[in-house]
Amino acid sequence: MTLAGKIALVTGGSRGIGRAVCLRLASMGVCVGINYVSQPGAAEETLAAIEAAGGTAFTSQFDVADATAVAAAVKAVTTGRGSVDILVNNAGITRDGLMARMRNDDWDQVLDTNLKGAFLCSKAVMRGMMKKRWGRIINMTSVIGFLGNAGQVNYGAAKAGLVGLTKSMARELAARNVTVNCVAPGYIVTDMTSG
């Protein structure tokens, strides 16, 4: 099966794992939407790398935790390029700290970006996938979602929730030839993990 000509949206696609995913998809002939929220320079670097290798891509700035922004961004992609065929929910943040000292805001921000963001983005693209009877949603979770880690109760809860979201979405969408899977990497050195 070829992916050439498909349209992908990779959240958190400007750096780290997201950048690697963007580069790989583009090398397979996929037109890649590189989502970022606050670092346009990193997104432009990813775009330039894809174009230098002969690929096609575009940048898309929005906060995955903002329902209005997600809907507007997906509508812009759909209007300009066609519906999203592949969604990689990769956007993620950390706000580490022991639970006894964790601020409520640190809990909320991590759950909003890492779990709610995947829900909002998936919901925004799934109708187009269902209508075409083809789509791929890949959720980037973590071994922390399975094993837990001291000082990361918010991150662990979000990633464990993402596993549950993945399993339930897969059951809902399978009949429409839309697959939903997750990848759970271990520790990988990226900007996010280097402090």
The pLDDT of residue 154 = 98
The pLDDT of residue 190 = 64
Return phi, psi of residue 9, to 5°: -125, 120
Mean pLDDT by 10 residues, the chain (195 residues): 94 97 98 97 98 98 99 95 97 97 98 99 98 98 96 98 99 98 84 59
Residue 25 CA to residue 32 CA, distance in Å, equals 7
The pLDDT of residue 195 = 57
Domains defined along the chain, listed by start:
7-183 (3.40.50.720)
For the chain, give the number of residues.
195
Residue 180 CA to residue 122 CA, distance in Å, equals 10
For residue 121, give both structure tokens: 């983005």
Q: What is the pTM of this model?
A: 0.94
Active site amino acids: 155
Residue 20 CA to residue 14 CA, distance in Å, equals 9
